Amino acid sequence: MAILFEHVTAVTMDEERRVLKDACVAVEGTKIASVGTRRPDGPFERVIDGTGKVLMPGLVNAHTHVPMALMRGYGGGCDLQTWLHDYIFPAEAKLDEQCVAAGAALGLAEMIASGTTCIADMYMKTGTIARQVLEAGISANLSCGGVYFGAPEDFSPEKCGDCQNQTALTEEWHGAGDGQILVDASIHAEYTSNPPLWQWMADYAAAHGLRMQVHASETEREHQECLERWGETPIRLLDRYGVWQNGGTAAHCVWVTDEDMALMARRHVTAVHNPVSNLKLASGVARVPALLSAGVNVALGTDGVASNNSHDLFEEIKLASILHKGVTRDPAAVSALQALEMATVNGARALGRTDTGVIAPGKTADLILVDFTAPGLTPCHDVYENLVYSARGSDVSMNMARGKVIYENGTFVTLDLERIRAEVEGYALPRIFG
């Protein structure tokens, strides 16, 4: 199907970071066919008038646990460890496939309505999440968050549940939907596993060409205890096992050292900044200006909504820009453009998906329209200022993922919100919290 956007302000995020006024962007199938200010020749099955709207790349949420939408606001006001052990882990122990499906669908609906077209997710029952993502229509790098609590000497891949999960996930889902689903290798965190798992996961990633997802240096306690146990920071310790050889994402990085940053830049490890979650859980403020100076690719994530409590990535974009200005007292820290890069091109790079996060011919048509006619986006002196500091997820009027319009003017095309709500309220919540 060929679709034309016309009369739109196109924030391309291309290499020249061009912003085109009164632009035309044509989509054919799953790809962007042309970008310019001249109307291309048709025919087009659909022409979308973008007057008063900004067309930009769909957002990349580079760290989330999408089914945790079920736990929105559950156990608020605690520190990370109390919250995990007293609230989240007991609730998660009751999750079955049907709960995960319902939670994933709910979380995906929220993401789609607020402009996300691509995610990196880490959660259990990952195949179930993959099915929900395929149905919803966005793209995802999925991982199962490998843990291993056994004694190192007892480790064997055959008896390690998450090695088995990883293998099954990769075999069934890696590359599914013409690349809509990619499977990443993953280690939940240093403190939830030990060397045999790290070695196995590193070797597995190398053998299958997979990227890696890890939580790293989220809290000071985690970072310090790792130093005490191993004499190394989480980032450097895992590197000793070859975990980063295909690159990947290190979520949080609140407490990473300058040496960690240098290593991350060298190994093409993305720091996924989750400012809302890090503040809410009192983990601290990641040194994002230092990460950028060190040449580290910085992307953005919402984390699970249980610690956010929202999947609206526009909020992370704004906070990523203003938080570091305030904390470092430098009004030039993390510019509006840099924050927008984190949520688009940097996020795409983080996931190894350089075909998204940008409006350019040949790229995947992951595109969103933002309505600039609302009072809260009027006037527009600078399109980046408005996108970063004034726009909300609720200003997204259309979400196109892989060339298909999946959300428009408040209506979901691929998802059935009534069915999702019935599953969440009728089945999942009673089962987990009833």
CB of 109 to its own copies, least distance (A): 4
CB of 218 to its own copies, least distance (A): 12
CB of 325 to its own copies, least distance (A): 4
2's CB contacts (< 8 A; 6+ apart) are 26, 27, 28, 33, 42, 43, 44, 45
**Region of residue 45 (phi > 0: left; psi between -120 and 50: alpha; otherwise: beta):** alpha
Q: Which is nearer to its own copies, 210 or 420 (CB)?
A: 420
Q: Which is nearer to its own copies, 172 or 220 (CB)?
A: 220
Q: Which is nearer to its own copies, 4 or 111 (CB)?
A: 111
The three-point CA angle 386-392-393 to 5° equals 130
Structure tokens at 69: 């939408």
Angle between helices 161-173 and 126-136 (to 10 degrees): 30
* CA separation for the pair 416, 239 (Å, rounded): 43
CB of 156 to its own copies, least distance (A): 39
Q: 276 φ, ψ to 5°?
A: -65, -50
Q: Which is nearer to its own copies, 222 or 395 (CB)?
A: 395
CB of 147 to its own copies, least distance (A): 24
In 369-416, where does DSSP find H-type helix?
Answer: 383-385
CB of 74 to its own copies, least distance (A): 5
Residue 234's nearest CA partner among 211, 212, 215 is 215
**DSSP letter assigned to residue 85:** I
Q: Which is nearer to its own copies, 230 or 384 (CB)?
A: 384
Q: Which is nearer to its own copies, 154 or 220 (CB)?
A: 220
Query: Which residue do the tokens 């994402």 mark?
Result: 249
* CA separation for the pair 215, 45 (Å, rounded): 44
